[in-house]
Structure 1
Amino acid sequence: MESDTATTVAILLSVSVGHLLNDMNQPFVPTIYPILKQSCRLLTMHRDGIQLAAAVGRLPGAKEWP
């Protein structure tokens, strides 16, 4: 019984840490827009494409790219 509890705690901890890391990375892409706009001379269309690609990657059921 103690082994089951340890396994459950390990799974919950792993899921929690993964969710925390995901939540921390979400605001990163919009934060770097001004830097990308200056250094790469991006248009609004390009910025929106980056944002769309980042959002699609976070959709439920989205497949990982190789």
Structure 2
Amino acid sequence: MRCDNGPELISAALGEWCEVQVIVLHWIQLGKPTQNAYVERFNGSFRRKVLNAYLFATLRQVRHLLTE
């Protein structure tokens, strides 16, 4: 799994889970988002089109919107 060094992806829990699932984490270099360009583009588009456009009260609402 390739991921950035953001705070949501540096937890010990993620590392332990990946180890149990036999998933190897590959970190992109700091300041090099082009090494993960597809995900960076998706995250930006998703943020603009969904997360910034709606106010969600529950995770269930998010899942419902995404499966429509």
**TM-score between the two structures when normalised by the length of structure 2:** 0.29
Asked which structure has the greater CA Rg, the reply is 1
The higher relative CO (CA closer than 8 Å, separation ≥ 6) is in 2
**TM-score between the two structures when normalised by the length of structure 1:** 0.29
> Quick check: which one's helix share is greater?
1
> Quick check: which one's strand share is greater?
2
